[in-house]
Every structure is written in C-alpha cells, then in structure tokens.
Structure 1
Amino acid sequence: MASETAIIELAAWLQTPPGRYLLAWEQAQMDAAVVDLFGFHALQLGLPELPGLRSNRMPHRWVALQHPEQAQAGALAGPGVALHCEFDSLPFESGSLDLVVLPHTLELAHDPHQTLREVERVLRPEGRLVILGLNPASLWGLRQNLGQVLPGGPRIYLPQDGDFIGYWRLRDWLRLLSFDVEAAQFGCYCPPLRSAAWLERWAWVEPIGGRWWPVLGAVYFIKAVKRVHGMRLIGLERKRVARRSAAPAVAVQQQHKEQGP
C-alpha cells in the first residue's frame, strides 16, 4: 500500500499550476474514453481528485481509496461510492468488473506488478482498463532526475515519492497479462515550468509536440482490453468444421447436376 505521505504529496502537487495543467488534460482524456463503455460495474483505484468515472453510465461505480482520510476530507470529487481497501487484494470476485481505471495508481503502489495482476483478476473477459502515468522519458522526467542526482541542481519538479513506470515497460507488463492495448496517447508537452502564466505562453507547443515528438509528452494514457485467448475460437472453429464438412456434399451435388440423369 502506498504511504499516506506520498498520496498527500501528490494531492498537494495537483493544486499547483503544473498539476492543474496536467489534471485538465487527463480529465479530458478520461471523460472521452469511458463515456461509451457499457456494463454494470466500474472501479477507480485512487486519486479521487480526478473523477475518472464521472462521464461513465454504469449503474455501479466505486472509487477505492487506500486511506479513509481521503473520503473524510471530502476529496471524492465525482460520482461513485468510496470504499477503503488494499489495491493488491481487491474485495471483488474474479471476473466481476467491466471497467477499471488506474490514474497514477501503479506509480504509488507498493507492488505495481501485484496491483496489475489483481486488476486482471477482477476484470471480466473483454473488460476495459484505463491507465494514466507520468512519462519518465520527457522533459518533466528529465528535470526530475536532474533534481534528484545533481547536488545543487534544479529543484525537484514532480512529487518526490513514486516509481514512474515507462510507457514501453508498462506495455510489456500488459502483454504478459493478456491485455491488448486498444489506444495510447501522450500529452502535456509544455516545458517543466512552475507558473500558470508561463505554461499559458507555451500552450502553442501542444499540437506541435503531439505531431513531431508524440512519445515525449509528460503523461501517457493507455486504454486496454482483457483478452482470454481461446474463448471465441471455439465458436469460430465449429463454424470452420461445419463449412469443411458441408463442402464435399455441395461438390457432390454439383457433380450430379453436371452429369445429368
């Protein structure tokens, strides 16, 4: 379970100008991604400051929190029922959820592999997974690294706690768990600036960055689907067998027609 200090630090950073800039981009992507996802049960793990399920219309929606103080402090900003649980041991039956949203959840997880395995367990076949993560291969990630390793270097820009997982590394994890990535996008190409005024002045770089260096955005967004290989192959195989068995009969009938009485 992530430490309460790390969660508080992230929540405080999201109130800064770069944090609000990041949160606005993420909210727009999340709203567009989940609005047309249908089912009955949806779950968001962590970061109640970003209401990831607010545009979704599933009847049962939960926001799981690692510390109950988050809900008591009124941090739950969107629709859904808050519950307190450990992310690596979710209180849901296997294959019971249609959608799981992970906004920076894996970065703060004590064991991100186990958290992702637990998410795979509770998702039904063809269930959807949406992930948001900070990109270490970006200007923001570079400044963060310089602030951590260079004495007297630039101040740390992002929250200090957390393991920022690279995009390609996360795709490998998803592939091992039989997830197919349906869509991926990067965003927030402004330099690591601290003031809202300077971030606004650099807004022109957003479309340019998305076109010319797309994988260098400060944050990435992944939409994946859980595949259970072989489930739909059974029906397809039956159809192929039926076609193969029917083909000789059709050929024999055609041959009789050509030969005549």
Structure 2
Amino acid sequence: MTVSNDHKSPFAGLQHWYRSPLGRRVAQLEGLCVRRLLSTSFGYYLLQIGLTELWWEALATCRIRHQVLLTSAPANRSAGLTIAGAETDLPLAADSIDAVLLPHTLDFTTDPRRVLCEVERVLIPEGRVIVVGFNAVSFWGLWHLALGSQQQMPWCGRFRTAAQIESWLESAGFVVEVCEHLLFCPPLRQVYGAGCSPLEALGQRLWPFFGGVYVIRAVKRVATLTPLKPAWSRRCPVLPGTAVRPTTRGNDHG
C-alpha cells in the first residue's frame, strides 16, 4: 500500500482529523491508556503501524529502546526510524519485534486479519500487541452509521466491537490480557471538555463496554511441545503365566 501522496492514504486522512479540536482530545485520552498498557513492556524494538507524530509523545516514556514507524505516507518527525511498506506485508524478519502498536490500523486497512497474522509473525514469543479501535456499539458507532456514507474522517472507517477483535487475535495465536474502553461522551467538540469527565467516570462504572474506543493488549503465546517416548522404550508385554520355565541341561527329572 505504498503511495506517494498523503491524500491517497486513509491513515494520512485520519492523521489530519487528529489535529482537529476533537481529535486532539481523543488522542490525549488514547495516549494515556496506551502509555499505561505499555509501562510493563521491555525490549529493543517497538513497531507502530499507521499514524505518525501524534503518538510519539505518548510513547516517550516507553521502556523499549527503539521505536520504529511503518507508514505509507511521509512522517513529520525528525527522530526515530521510519520505514515504508504495507501493513499487510511487513518488511521485517520473523521474531524480531518486542511490541507492536496498532492505532486504528485495523479500522482503515483493507485486510485486518492479514495484518494480525503479520504482527504475530514479526513478534518475538511473549511479545505484546496493543490494538486501538473505534467501537461499533457506542455513541461513536451511531455517528459512524449516520456519517460513514459521506466519507468523512474518522466515520468512513470500519468500526467493530472489541469482542470481534479479540476473536481475531485468538485465531492469530494471541492471548488477550487487557481490554479497556473509553470515550463515553457523544463525539461532539463542545462536549469533550471539563463537562465530560463525570460522564466518562459513570460510563467506566456502569456500561464499560459501550465506550467509543477500545484498547486491547494481547501477548503472543508459543505452545511448548511435549516430546513423545520412542516405541522401543515402552515395556514389553508380560509372558503368560502358563509359559514353561527352562530347566538346566543334564539335570534328572523325577
């Protein structure tokens, strides 16, 4: 999916939306959640697929040494390593990455299940993946149904439920560790201010699965093989009790 112009990339369009007042607030809340879920991860390489500079501030405290961005559009940042490539065919060696961040990558890619399979391939055993996505069962999902046909960002993406993503992760070889929901207010710019905090707290307590965004952390598990005993090591069958005992040569028989 490598392209030369920003407007051809859905991730570039989403990046532009994140610079809006509502988008900046969403990025702030998502970044806090991602930072918390990454706080226990260690290693050498963290791969981020899709969005660019808005997430690097959230990753500034990450304990993984090197942060790599894979994008099809130019990145507006001066530090770190950026590589160009398709999210469905990662140009990376197997078992080489310690953690992967997918910030709405599955919402805007053409083949989300292939992306998860590629992520599983490049992650080391016990490596983590963090998936951020828009929840179809929420106020944000209702806006998506109303405005998705107008091709407006972010409503033109493919919203799914956290349960569906968890099922895909398990099929790809992951075990889900954490799933959090946020953004319980309607997606209106004037709402996401100080007045939204009580509704956010209420939503976390009373209807946690209806947040506008889900954030899932999963770990790549590698099954250990149980060696089988060779056939020759099995015990021989016991002779039947009627077998004749051998006698010593030359002995008399009475």
In the superposition, the TM-score normalised over structure 1's length comes to: 0.77
| Partner in structure 2 of residue 249 of structure 1 | none
> Post-superposition shift, 1:21?
1.6
* Aligned counterpart for 1:55 among listed residues 58, 61, 79: 61
Pair 1:40–1:198, CA change in 2 (3 A): closer
Q: CA RMSD in A?
A: 2.5
| Partner in structure 1 of residue 220 of structure 2 | 226
The answer (yes or no) to whether the contact 1:95–1:124 under 8 Å persists in 2 is yes
Map residues 1-261 of structure 1 onto 2, 5 A cutoff.
Answer: 1=1, 4-48=8-52, 49-51=54-56, 53-67=59-73, 69=74, 71=75, 74=76, 76=77, 80-148=80-148, 158-195=153-190, 199-230=193-224
Q: Which runs of 5+ in 2 are unaligned?
A: 229-254
- For residues 132-168 of structure 1, what are the alpha-carbon distances to aligned partners after superposition, in whole Å with 9 as ceiling and x for unaligned? 001111011112202347xxxxx88752432122211
| Partner in structure 1 of residue 234 of structure 2 | none
The answer (yes or no) to whether the contact 1:64–1:83 under 8 Å persists in 2 is yes
Tell me which amino acid in the other structure corresponds to 2:128.
R
Pair 1:216–1:158, CA change in 2 (3 A): farther
The answer (yes or no) to whether the contact 1:133–1:219 under 8 Å persists in 2 is yes
The answer (yes or no) to whether the contact 1:103–1:131 under 8 Å persists in 2 is yes
Pair 1:204–1:107, CA change in 2 (3 A): same
In 1, Cα distance between the equivalents of 2:105 and 2:99?
15
Secondary structure at 1:204 match in 2: helix
In 2, Cα distance between the equivalents of 1:38 and 1:82?
20
Q: Which runs of 5+ in 1 are unaligned?
A: 150-154, 238-261
> Post-superposition shift, 1:5?
4.5
In the superposition, the TM-score normalised over structure 2's length comes to: 0.79
Structure with bigger helix share is 1
The answer (yes or no) to whether the contact 1:209–1:217 under 8 Å persists in 2 is yes
> Post-superposition shift, 1:59?
2.5
The answer (yes or no) to whether the contact 1:64–1:82 under 8 Å persists in 2 is yes
In 2, Cα distance between the equivalents of 1:116 and 1:85?
15
In 2, Cα distance between the equivalents of 1:134 and 1:175?
19
Tell me which amino acid in the other structure corresponds to 1:222.
I
> Post-superposition shift, 1:86?
1.1
- Count of residue pairs brought into register by the alignment: 223
